[in-house]
């Protein structure tokens, strides 16, 4: 099918939200020192590219962050909540233990959308937003839905072990949202998803719920070196796959919008794809790794800052626990 015959899912609004509590490396280092953990701004920044992150207050839930980002996306699109007929929410930190009711349903209720709107969560960790875009695009192409709200939202500060400086300095909280609408104009041009469960242990929360209690650890654990090596490899492969599906080459991409995990992963992926660092949207330094929220946060920042313009080609990429990874080519 050529582009003139295809129905597209087109981005018509984006929004994001960061909790008001900003924690820079100096403050975090002092907090960790009280627990006998030595670190510094230089140590954190040199290994990750992160200078600060935002942490949700004890009163803020994932759904609260998601609703604020969604409302901003609705405002940008010139829509009201009742115009949405599907909510897909990517998160690893749902409001409720066990993930039900889904945080997407909580968001639906908080937005005041009635039962004409379906809602569900997806769990692909840091790749979750890409998985959500893929699903939304597919459902719009079939005609099953017309306007889909895709959200990535996380409160990772709740699952961090502040005795483990290798992980607790990397993550932050936040939410980002995109509204997709059925259109005859090009929007999502292609997407590609992958997973490999044999790497499930290199990034996970190993605890389980047994008899209503957490058995084992409820904190995030990560083999940083293993994640780094795998991430750069699969992000190059899936980026090239998405480009080929879209009929594009790297020099036709105006902006690479990667999952904001680690500056070395981001720059290494861009180099392998042949995309200059100047064409990579980077929000990592002031936000940390916000998992499923990081891509829509970076995208919204790029649009609102005037960097991303209508008609430009974007390559979005994510990789996360599972192990999962994916990419999407988008004409904004």
Which positions are annotated as active-site residues? 126, 259, 289
Do residues 43 and 168 lie in contact, with contact meaning Cβ atoms separated by under 8 Å?
Answer: no
Do residues 187 and 133 lie in contact, with contact meaning Cβ atoms separated by under 8 Å?
Answer: no
In the chain the first and final C-alpha atoms are separated, in Å, by 21
What is the C-alpha radius of gyration for the chain, rounded to an integer number of angstroms? 19
Neighbouring-strand partners of residue 171 = 289
Going from the C-alpha of 38 to that of each of 42, 51, 164, 288, the distances in angstroms are 12, 17, 10, 19
| Strands (DSSP E) found in the chain | 8-17, 21-24, 52-55, 86-90, 118-122, 147-155, 173-183, 188-195, 203-204, 208-210, 213-215, 221-222, 255-258, 313-320, 324-331
What is the β-pairing status of strands 173-183 and 8-17? antiparallel
Angle at 94 between CA 91 and CA 97, to 5 degrees: 140
What does the alpha-carbon distance between residue 64 and residue 302 come to, in Å, rounded to a whole number? 23
């Amino acid at each position: 099918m050529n582009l003139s015959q295809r129905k597209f899912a087109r981005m018509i609004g984006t929004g994001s939200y960061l909790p008001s509590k900003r924690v820079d490396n100096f403050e975090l280092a002092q907090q960790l020192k009280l627990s006998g953990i030595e670190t510094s701004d230089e140590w954190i920044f040199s290994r990750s590219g992160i200078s600060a992150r935002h942490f949700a207050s004890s009163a803020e839930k994932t759904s609260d962050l998601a609703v604020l980002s969604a409302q901003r996306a609705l405002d940008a699109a010139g829509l009201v909540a009742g115009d949405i007929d599907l909510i897909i929410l990517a998160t690893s930190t749902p409001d409720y233990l066990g993930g039900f009711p889904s945080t997407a349903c909580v968001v639906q209720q908080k937005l005041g959308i009635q039962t004409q709107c379906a809602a569900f969560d997806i769990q692909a960790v840091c790749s979750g937003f890409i998985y959500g875009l893929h699903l939304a695009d597919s459902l719009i192409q079939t005609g099953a839905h017309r306007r889909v709200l895709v959200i990535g939202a996380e409160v990772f500060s709740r699952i961090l072990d502040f005795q483990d400086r290798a992980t607790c300095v990397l993550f932050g909280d936040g939410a980002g949202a995109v509204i997709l609408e059925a259109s005859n104009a090009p929007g999502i041009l292609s997407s590609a998803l992958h997973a490999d469960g044999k790497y499930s242990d290199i990034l996970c929360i190993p605890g389980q719920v047994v008899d209503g209690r957490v058995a084992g650890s409820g904190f995030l654990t990560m083999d940083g070196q293993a994640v780094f090596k795998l991430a750069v490899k699969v992000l190059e492969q899936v980026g090239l796959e998405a480009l080929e599906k879209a009929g594009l080459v790297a020099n036709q991409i105006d902006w690479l919008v990667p999952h904001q995990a680690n500056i070395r992963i981001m720059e290494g992926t861009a180099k392998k794809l042949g995309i200059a660092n100047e064409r990579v949207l980077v929000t990592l330094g002031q936000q940390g790794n916000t998992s499923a929220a990081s891509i829509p946060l970076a995208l919204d920042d790029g649009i609102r800052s005037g960097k991303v313009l209508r008609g430009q080609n974007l390559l979005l990429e994510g990789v996360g626990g599972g192990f999962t990874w994916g990419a999407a080519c988008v004409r904004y």
